[in-house]
Structure 1
Amino acid sequence: MAMTGVLRPGHVQLRVLDLNESVDFYSNVLGLIETGRDAMGRVYFKTWEERDHHSVILRQADNAGVDFFAFKVDSDATLAKLEKDLNAYGVATKRIEAGDLLETRERVRFTLPTGHDIELYAHKTAIGNEMGELNPEAWCANAEKGIAPIRLDHALLYGPDIEKAQAIFTDVLGFFLVEHIALDDSQDLAIWLSCSTKAHDIAFVRHPEPGKLHHVSFLLETWEQVLRAADIMSMNRVSIDIGPTRHGVTRGTTIYAFDPNGNRFETFCGGNYAYPDQKPTKWTMDEVGAAVFYHDRKLNDRFLTVVT
């Protein structure tokens, strides 16, 4: 699949209750690399493998959750076109000036019917990684610090009107439906959408309250690294939701846990490849347990109800 238009998830801004505690957690337990702090007090991070300036931003707030989730597009021309296309589709947009985020040029923000703010941008300063771009080694010292994921992978968002959100992503932004859990013949409980060949780049679950975060996911390379992540979480007394286990949806291996603020995060590995010419995989409610947690074949209440 040609990678044009919307390329990939680019960054997420999370609200945290204790910034200092959160910086320590994201640096030393999750193993992200701090890349800057701005005049608003926000702290910026990237993974050891990522080349752009940041993928995670932490902001001190009175309640936990997500402010916005962003996707990088391939050019200024694409950004302008998608902004125009969103407006023509009836979606209001807002231009955010360059420099509002560190090392990031103009962004286009819009609000989904689910209540989530989504951003598009074309340019962020590439600061590279320790391996460099000429005759690089296989990994660097930071790959051994904490859990040490290789990239921000996706987000799962909870809110109403997920079919309307799906329409915006598929009709305007060029995403396609990879998998879904059907409530009945007319409605889905959950949808997984991709703009690439990944199992998903964003996902949604139907929920009565708008704008809720279920989790932000970070990619690991192997099942053994997911198991190592579980060890690191236990050593640091991190609250684990479930796992290590496997999903039926995507077939990825996973462990879910909570940061000190109650924001859930996932360490994820694997997942099937996706192509836009393939028919979406459908799961029915009688097999919803296996769809989400393939080994246990049942859901836990906390996974369904705890969001920020």
Structure 2
Amino acid sequence: MTAEHEIAHVANVELLTPEFDRSLWFFTEVMGLTEVGSEGDSVYLRTWDDYERHTLKLTAHHTSGLRRMALRASSQAALDRRVEAVEAAGLGVGWRDGDPGIGPTYVFRDPDGHELEIYWESEWYQAPPELAPSLKNQAQAYPARGVCVRRLDHVNYLAAEVEGSADFVREVLGGRPTEQILLDSGTIGARWLSFTNKSYDLVYTRDWTGSNGRLHHIAFATDTREDILRAADIFLDKGVHIETGPHKHAIQQTFFLYVYEPGGNRIELCNPVARLILAPDWKTITWTEAERAKGQAWGLKTIESFHTHGTPPVG
């Protein structure tokens, strides 16, 4: 059976930080996430429009980076089939008890070494009275705190070799490649993949250091472009380092702003929250190295750190 549509969406991420208290301040007071629990060295946080219990697991660690990205399967049967496919590919780690609110979870790695997990059983969030929304089709009242990001949008991995991991996501997990960069050498410099009708959920970008398993950024969606412009003022007032933006990407046409959270991880705010890919026979858009060198659709040229900074840092 085809793997397509057996992954429902990117569900949550576990982010590592060596500056736990400052990172927690950033995500709660600046980004506007809500704390929903803690366990050991970790705190669970949620965006206001997430239907599940948590969106981000923030964990104190000696360095930065992404420990794990979680995917929710579209059914129990889909979970079983994807686990079987991962094991056949030889990249399975094994089953574990899920985080609070999540059922049995299967952990595995992509060919570059990034750790992922997949699950089906999930506890839908029930807001306490003080966070209850007026609209019953909304999980939580709008917090009106900081940037107030709406949801987790996508994850961008760095990889020593893009094509192998991107092919794994396509063949084993059912991700559709929607756009890519083809370098003059004939290798793939980056590839964008989608599990849904969004234009992308997961990105692999070539790591210039040749390292494995690193993170380029995680991205949160805002309601409007104006939210991103306001966020730039908030980041300025709060002393958050703005790396680049707001500008508009040519690839995927995303309006964006990139910052570093206090632990050193790159965070993107994005809008539109992704174009919709409705064509069942969508053909991957390929950008050449020369086209990519032209920079953004509009805005300032991409700065050097965007191509060199990743987490965890390497020597």
TM-score, scaled relative to structure 1: 0.92
Aligned to 1:300: 303
Aligned to 1:8: 9
Q: Secondary structure at the match of 2:84?
A: helix
Q: Which of 271, 277, 281 does residue 277 from structure 1 map onto?
A: 281
Question: Identity rate of aligned residues, in percent?
Answer: 28
The one-character-per-residue Cα deviations of 1:149-196 (angstroms, maximum 9, x if unpaired) are 111011111011221111111111111100001113731100000011
Aligned to 2:234: 232
Aligned to 1:200: 200
TM-score, scaled relative to structure 2: 0.90
What amino acid sits opposite 1:259 in the alignment? Answer: E
Q: For 1:115 and 1:86, how far apart are their aligned partners in 2?
A: 14
Q: Which of 286, 290, 294 does residue 290 from structure 2 map onto?
A: 286
What amino acid sits opposite 1:253 in the alignment? Answer: F
What amino acid sits opposite 2:163 in the alignment? Answer: E
Give, in angstroms, the shift of residue 41 of structure 1: 2.3
Aligned to 1:36: 37
Q: For 1:132 and 1:225, how far apart are their aligned partners in 2?
A: 21
Q: Which of 241, 248, 267 does residue 269 from structure 2 map onto?
A: 267
Aligned to 2:216: 214
- Check conservation: 1:16, 1:65, Cα contact below 8 A: yes
- Check conservation: 2:91, 2:111, Cα contact below 8 A: no
Aligned to 1:76: 76
Aligned residues: 301
- Check conservation: 1:50, 1:128, Cα contact below 8 A: no
Which deviates more from structure 2 when the two are superposed, residues 296-305 or residues 27-36? 296-305
Q: Which runs of 5+ in 2 are unaligned?
A: none
Aligned to 2:105: 107
Q: Secondary structure at the match of 2:122?
A: coil
Q: 1:128 to 1:287 in 2, by over 3 A?
A: farther
Which deviates more from structure 2 when the two are superposed, residues 275-284 or residues 243-252? 275-284
- Check conservation: 2:105, 2:118, Cα contact below 8 A: yes
CA RMSD of superposed structures (Å): 2.0
Q: For 2:56 and 2:122, how far apart are their aligned partners in 1?
A: 13
The one-character-per-residue Cα deviations of 1:223-249 (angstroms, maximum 9, x if unpaired) are 111111111111111101100010101
Aligned to 2:66: 66
Q: Secondary structure at the match of 2:253?
A: coil
Q: Secondary structure at the match of 1:35?
A: strand
Q: 1:137 to 1:301 in 2, by over 3 A?
A: closer
Aligned to 1:21: 22
Q: Which runs of 5+ in 1 are unaligned?
A: none
Q: Secondary structure at the match of 1:233?
A: helix
Q: For 1:175 and 1:251, how far apart are their aligned partners in 2?
A: 20
The one-character-per-residue Cα deviations of 1:48-88 (angstroms, maximum 9, x if unpaired) are 11121101011111111110111111222211110001122
What amino acid sits opposite 2:289 in the alignment? Answer: M
Q: 1:145 to 1:234 in 2, by over 3 A?
A: same
The one-character-per-residue Cα deviations of 1:186-236 (angstroms, maximum 9, x if unpaired) are 311000000111121000111111111110000011111111111111111
- Check conservation: 1:248, 1:290, Cα contact below 8 A: no
- Check conservation: 1:289, 1:298, Cα contact below 8 A: no
What amino acid sits opposite 2:287 in the alignment? Answer: W
Q: Structure 2 matches for 1:159-170, cutoff 5 A?
A: 159-170=159-170
What amino acid sits opposite 1:45 in the alignment? Answer: L
- Check conservation: 1:53, 1:103, Cα contact below 8 A: yes
Q: Structure 2 matches for 1:172-183, cutoff 5 A?
A: 172-183=172-183
Aligned to 1:190: 190
Aligned to 1:140: 141
